[in-house]
Amino acid sequence: MDYKKIIVLLAVGIIILIAMVLLIGPEQIISALKTADITYVVLALFIQVIILLLWNTRWSIICKSLDIPHNFMSLFAMTIIGLAINDLTPSGRSGGEPVRAYILSKNSSEDFKRTFASVMGDKIFDTFPFIVLAIFSIAYLMLYLHLDATIFSLLLISLILFIIALLFIIILCFNENMGIFTVKWVFRQIKRFTLKFSKYEEKVLSSLLGFQNSLRYLLSNRRLLLEAALISFLVWFLELLRVYVVFLAFGVNVSLGMIAAVFLVSSLIGIIPLLPGGLGSIDGVMILLYSMAGISASVSTAATLIERMISLWMILILGIILLPFFGTGALDHVE
């Protein structure tokens, strides 16, 4: 893990955020923050805790299906660490997945290919509700914000590319020949620059079949599919509800449709590996879209700051606190 790069990118994101605050007006934002009803802020925090527990419950169900021994609270800590590293690394919000698999493998004495399959299954189950939300949100933005054709096209293309990438990953996870071809192709490209990782090629190939079998079993388990899907949709709904409650703290009633639309755009931006946690870029898009919906810039900024404090900074801080209990060597598995 390149700590210097992370620190530099975090600094860039914070500078962008500070610039936005200065542009809108610090005094106005502080005044808006002072009007926030703390009861709603605490409620939003409570909703976030429920979301984290549901994420963990889904992963726990998957682990049980694969007969991976685990402790629920230890798994909860691993979930938070994975989310924190996802936000900390500019790697399309996927840097924490190998870390989760590594820590679980280390603590359960299970093969890494099985624990990684549990993590990938968890990721796939979380993605399907996102696609449903994305389709709804693009339609909402088009109907109610009257986006021009260019922005609509960009959103649609982004969604299509995301779905294509997801389908490719799913095929890769299930088709042995394609999996072998892809692994060999990746290592051929790496060998053009360095031979350092050549020794891992056979190890990756030998682990591929076990990983695919575990993942194939997960996605063929109908009961698991139903339970995981229900949890995933509930999590996405609570994510929207959390933002809704944050705006209620400022006496602003924002439609769930608008929140879903903003959530989609910010999530798509968060997938692009630019800055850690989409710091600066996600915040800017949220403020812009809520302002376009008729909410004052100061309230939009204040609400965004509180929302990001709950959904980003709280997770980061908790993850950093919990990581030493599992060993910082886990960070060697971050891409």
63 pLDDT above the threshold of 70:
yes
Task: Give the tokens for residue 116.
Answer: 């990684």
DSSP string of 2-70, one letter each residue? -HHHHHHHHHHHHHHHHHHHHHH-HHHHHHHHHT--HHHHHHHHHHHHHHHHHHHHHHHHHHHHTT---
**Integer CA distances (angstroms), 320 to 94, 250, 313, 332, in order:** 17, 31, 11, 15
pLDDT at 329: 54
Higher pLDDT, 133 or 255: 255
pLDDT tier at 195 (50, 70, 90 boundaries)? low
Cβ contact 169:128 at 8 Å: no
Q: Which tens digits make up the pLDDT trace of 138-185?
A: 777 777 766 667 766 767 777 777 777 777 777 776 677 777 777 677
Q: Which residues contact 29 (CB under 8 A, 6 or more apart)?
A: 21, 298, 301, 302, 305
Q: Which tens digits make up the pLDDT trace of 267-276?
A: 777 666 566 6
209 pLDDT above the threshold of 80:
no
Amino acid type, 8: V
Average per-residue pLDDT for the chain? 81
Query: Per-residue pLDDT averaged across 2-22, rounded?
Result: 76
200 pLDDT above the threshold of 90:
no
pLDDT at 216: 77
pLDDT tier at 199 (50, 70, 90 boundaries)? low
Q: Return d(Cα 59, Cα 79) in angstroms, integer.
A: 8
38 pLDDT above the threshold of 60:
yes
Q: Look at residues 49, 103, 153 and name the one whose alpha carbon lies nearest to residue 327.
A: 103
Query: Per-residue pLDDT averaged across 207-220, rounded?
Result: 74
| Lowest-confidence pick of 12-16, 94-98, 148-152, 285-289 | 148-152
328 pLDDT above the threshold of 60:
no
pTM of the predicted model, to two decimals? 0.81
Cβ contact 243:289 at 8 Å: no
Task: Give the tokens for residue 159.
Answer: 């969604």
332 pLDDT above the threshold of 80:
no
pLDDT tier at 128 (50, 70, 90 boundaries)? confident
Chain centroid offset of residue 335 CA = 15
Instruction: Spell 198-220 as b/e; 16+ CB within 10 A means b.
Output: eeebeebeebbeebbebbeebbe
Higher pLDDT, 48 or 331: 48
For the chain, counts of helices (H) and of strands (E): 14, 0
Q: Return d(Cα 95, Cα 114) in angstroms, integer.
A: 18
204 pLDDT above the threshold of 70:
no
Query: Per-residue pLDDT averaged across 36-63, rounded?
Result: 96
Task: Give the tokens for residue 48.
Answer: 């976030």
pLDDT tier at 291 (50, 70, 90 boundaries)? confident
pLDDT at 277: 61
Cβ contact 96:84 at 8 Å: yes
| Lowest-confidence pick of 14-18, 64-68, 226-230, 301-305 | 14-18
pLDDT at 191: 66
Q: Where are the domains of the chain?
A: 25-333
